[in-house]
Chains A and B, each alone.
Chain A
Amino acid sequence: MSDAALAHATTAESSAEFIVEMKQISKSFGAVRALHNVDFTLRPGEILGLVGDNSAGKSTLMKVLTGAYHRDSGEVLVDGHATNFRTPHQSRDFGIEMIYQDFALCGNMDVAQNIFLGRWPRKGPFVDRKLMYAEAAGVLRRLNVNVNSVYQKVESLSGGRQQSVAIARAISFDPKVVILDEPTANLSHVATETLLKTMLELKAQGVAQVIISHRLIDIFEVGDRVMALKRGENVGDRYIKDTTEQEILELMIAGTAETAKSADAARARLASPGSSPRPSP
């Protein structure tokens, strides 16, 4: 971290400003150093693109956040509280949800049962079907997505709609942070557009989102900020409005610790030659 002093000053005056703040995270798998002193911040209601080449450490960083992996060193603050999640269930209690690339749904069950997968509401010894279908319909309405029926089997849905179910599932926990791992990898053009609309809808409801993606075009369409990793280190952090796809690509490929200043620092430097800084989103 090149400008530690500046970053520290920023966090000190506004620690509750971030819904998630990770400091100096390191994680190794045996001899392989997956993450090295990585810093990460996320504001409430912000859409952050997390980019980097394969093996840059994007998924590892997010799994450290959810508790799927345990960090070797560093701090994780959620809503200002120091945390040390041992499992994804613990991070869920703090409002963090991850949507996996493969959606992790069971195709032999219907939409509502998948939204409540593993925690079907109960009435005595039985599953409370009435409540389950009613609440599932409510979650889908909130998402504003069109899945024909909560009674439809998930395996009969298109990839895009299956993803809507996966998102609905995440939303049903009423999270503050949703992490989407390569959400557009299997989607058609139309389904991608729908997804991006859904993300903006969630943003409007104050849900912060991290989108791990190779597709910069998606991040530039809905994102507020983009953060690049390279071989497990920070190499860049920019507001979408201050940067271009070209610059981010350069950071991903040729970024160094020197380029890794915070988005605010990058903006400040951008401002100094004379161009006026644009309002923060």
Chain B
Amino acid sequence: MLNKIIGFSVKNKLIIGLFVLALIGWGAFEVTRLPIDAVPDITDNQVQVITVSPSLGAPDVERLITFPVEQACSNIPGLKQIRSFSRFGLSLVTIVFSDETDVYWARQQISERLQQVQQEIPAGVGAPAMAPVTTGLGEIYQYVVRPLPGYEGKYGPMELRTLQDWVVRRQLLGTPGVADVSSFGGQLKQYEIAVKPGQLKANNIAIADVFDALEKNNQNTGGAYIEKGPTVLYIRSEGLTKSIADIEKIVVKNLDNGMPVLIRDVATVQLGAATRYGAMCFNDKGEVAGAVVMMLKGENSSAVIKRVKEKVADIQKSLPEGVVIEPFLDRTKMVNNAIKTVETNLIEGALIVVFVLVFFLGNLRAGLIVSSVIPLSMLFAVILMNKFGVGGNLMSLGAIDFGLIVDGTVIVVEAILHRFSHSRHFRNTRMVDQTIMDAEVNASTGTMIKSAVFSQIIILIVYIPILSLQGIEGKMFKPMAFTVAFAILGAFLLSVTYVPMMSALFLSKKISHKPSLADRIMIWLERKYQPALTRMMQFPKAMIAGTLVLFAIAMVMLGRMGGEFIPELEEGDFAVETRLLTGSNLNTTIQATQQCAAILLKKFPEVEKVVTKIGSAEIPTDPMPLEASDMMVILKDKKDWTSARSFDELSEKMSSELAVVPGVSVGFQFPVQMRFNELMTGARQDVVCKIFGEDLDSLAHYANRLG
């Protein structure tokens, strides 16, 4: 049957040509639609349930909130694991589902159960809510809102946070593909009625009274409408407090002598800040506000980032003068790095393949024909990738070896050429016409096609085990297997249709029997090879023994070799996890990290900027305590570095420099990698030993011994 197809292709060259053109067009279109990211998304399917309870301590949070939530959600079908985290003021329950579970369905299930749980949780303690639908790769764009130099006095943390919440975030939220924008740092503005207890006592008023008074004095109402002649007049009252002055004038209590006690008599009304659990600093210039833009699960990151950037440019215009939105962690940088690597690899690989082909075949046209299969099969692969939802990233595109894909084609073309130059048929001819060419191409392809088919099938088969991988390694390598499989399929189809057609059409009809350079080299090689082979054939036992010995050595080496999961991807920037002593307060942490930032900026010219995120964000998907912070050290391009050559070296040097800051311990990682680790295992380190048990004190004791 294959032979029939080959014959058909060779005869009807125009039809095949049209097909190929259609392929090119369609493929090019699909390329623009291909979702491209740096790495495949390896976070598992999870939903986080966050409950903020600012006044409860850790044991209470665990008892009152975490435990009921865990219990309620523990019987959802498809559940793989439940992890939770209870801290002062915060409960975070991470529910991990199997990959096949639809995350929206899972959220629905959880939402139902959360409604029931709400009744079990005592009133006023907190309301569990689900975190946005995002993944480990979802933090695509992180920015700070900071004052330009000279305007620092005008815009303090409170103003910046207000701008961030009410101007920037609000406008960003509408962007398609954005799941949420989580504000960070700054000071959340509040109207604070700071009560003076001395005054209260003097007037015999309790705080509860103040409370009640405020509640009662802050409402609007409506009075429906009255008719004024032909028109209708709507009545409404404005009782909402609008300013500090309004609040100050509220009556708390009426004294016995008829004098009203106003709020301003017993309290100072001012702008205050909510008790904060997180802060953000820019370089060593103090506090700023900022946010993390989280992408919806499954979206195309480059498309979303593009939209976000456009939006940010718009928003910048609506900000007052002296305030600027400055992104510090932008996924495009990482994607571009990775894609550049991919591009370089692909292009260089393709060039080398072309060169080698031309060299070996000794025939420029034949080499070009085979090489042309490369982009065509890639286009074919991209079409199928889009159809099957396989994303383009470092793993799927970067590991494609064209040599592998065009192996089948090579065999076919090589056979055709061989036949012409070596076969007895053509020993005396100098030129052939088209019909003979067609027939010859048909025949040679036909003979080789079985081997070619088998070779392609075998390469396909060896990629099948990769498809069986699950979990993280599955997410990493399955795209690669799919892409290669598609490319091979494309190459195969092309080698039974396009290649014979092109060979018949474009290969030179002049048959030269003069050996070309490549031929001469081949002959030389043959001459060296044959006697060597004959000699070897006379020592069969020695050869077999030698081979077995080599094999044994290799096995031994394999056993001794260490194992690593997946080598680390260098993302281009550092995320430095900084920790102080437990129980340090926010100011201490801010001071210490500012010191660190100053050192880094001064001593390492490769550092572009340092943004420190202390504690938790507004949506605490990553709840760090007050003593912990992530220092995002944004670095320049690797080729501009002066202090070190590799990321390992640089991180070591930085570590030693930062050791001068007392009480601080640092750990260097990469941002996305850290996020992955944390999301998937609940910890940020490479290796984590978990000790399970009942009593917290015993656990602490064993943990210390282990360390």
Asked if A and B bind, the verdict is no
